[in-house]
Chains A and B, each alone.
Chain A
Amino acid sequence: QQPVQSPQAVILREGEDAVINCSSSKALYSVHWYRQKHGEAPVFLMILLKGGEQKGHEKISASFNEKKQQSSLYLTASQLSYSGTYFCGTENAGGTSYGKLTFGQGTILTVHP
Chain B
Amino acid sequence: NAGVMQNPRHLVRRRGQEARLRCSPMKGHSHVYWYRQLPEEGLKFMVYLQKENIIDESGMPKERFSAEFPKEGPSILRIQQVVRGDSAAYFCASSRMTGGKNIQYFGAGTRLSVL
Chain A: residues with CB nearer than 8 A to chain B? Answer: 2, 30, 32, 34, 40-44, 47, 49, 87, 89, 91, 96-106
- Please measure, in the bound complex, the distance between the C-alpha atom of A34 and the C-alpha atom of B106, giving whole angstroms: 10
Please determine whether B104 and A44 come into contact, CB atoms closer than 8 angstroms. Answer: yes
Note all chain A residues with C-beta closer than 8 A to B55: 99
Chain B: residues with CB nearer than 8 A to chain A? Answer: 4, 31, 33, 35, 41-45, 48, 55-56, 58-59, 91, 95, 97, 100-109
Note all chain B residues with C-beta closer than 8 A to A44: 103-106
Note all chain A residues with C-beta closer than 8 A to B100: 49
What's the minimum C-beta distance from A26 to chain B, rounded to whole angstroms? 14
- A32-B104, A41-B108 known; A99-B42 Cβ under 8 A: no
- Smallest Cβ-Cβ distance to B104: which chain A residue: A101
Please determine whether B42 and A41 come into contact, CB atoms closer than 8 angstroms. Answer: no
- Please measure, in the bound complex, the distance between the C-alpha atom of A50 and the C-alpha atom of B77, giving whole angstroms: 34
Interface centre among A2, A32, A103 (most CB of B within 10 A): A103
Please determine whether A49 and B106 come into contact, CB atoms closer than 8 angstroms. Answer: no
What's the minimum C-beta distance from B58 to chain A, rounded to whole angstroms? 7
What's the minimum C-beta distance from B98 to chain A, rounded to whole angstroms? 12
Query: Which of these, B4, B31, B101, contacts A47 with CB under 8 Å?
Result: B101
Please determine whether A105 and B33 come into contact, CB atoms closer than 8 angstroms. Answer: no
Note all chain B residues with C-beta closer than 8 A to A49: 100-101
| Interchain residue pairs with CB less than 8 A apart (15) | A2-B42, A41-B91, A41-B107, A44-B104, A47-B102, A47-B103, A49-B101, A97-B56, A99-B56, A100-B45, A100-B58, A101-B33, A101-B43, A103-B35, A105-B41
Interface centre among A34, A43, A100, A102 (most CB of B within 10 A): A100
